[in-house]
Amino acid sequence: MLLIPCPNCGERDEIEFDYGGRAIQYPALNNSMSDWHMVLHQRDNSTETIEEFWYHQSGCECWFKVTRNLNTHEFES
Ligand SMILES: [Zn+2]
């Protein structure tokens, strides 16, 4: 079970949330296709922490961004 820290409601069970995906930095629209390819298909998976979006569906109905350690699944912010 994963406890997710909602900024409005505190820690809640993961079943109350929808996962919104990784918070990645997209290139500008006029960047080359190779830049877009690198961001969309060749991301570095070696990082220990990632930023991701979560939606508190069964609570305050807010989207928020967190930093999570991929090895321990602990939320760092
Ligand atoms: Zn909430």
Output the CA angle 37-42-44, nearest 5 degrees: 140
Model confidence pLDDT, tens digit, residues 16-72: 999 999 888 888 989 999 988 988 888 777 778 889 999 999 999 999 999 999 888
CATH superfamily of 3-69: Folate-binding superfamily (3.30.2270.10)
At residue 73 the predicted structure's pLDDT band, cuts being 50, 70 and 90, is: confident
CA of 49 to the centre of ligand 1 (A): 22
- pTM for the model stands at 0.78
Residues whose CB is under 5 A from ligand 1 (ion)?
6, 8-9, 56, 59-60
- Residue 20 pLDDT: 95
Burial class (CB in 10 A: 0-12, 13-18, 19+), 46: exposed
Q: Is 14 helix (H, G, I), strand (E, B) or coil?
A: helix
Residue extents of the structural domains in the chain = 3-69
Predicted pLDDT at 14: 95
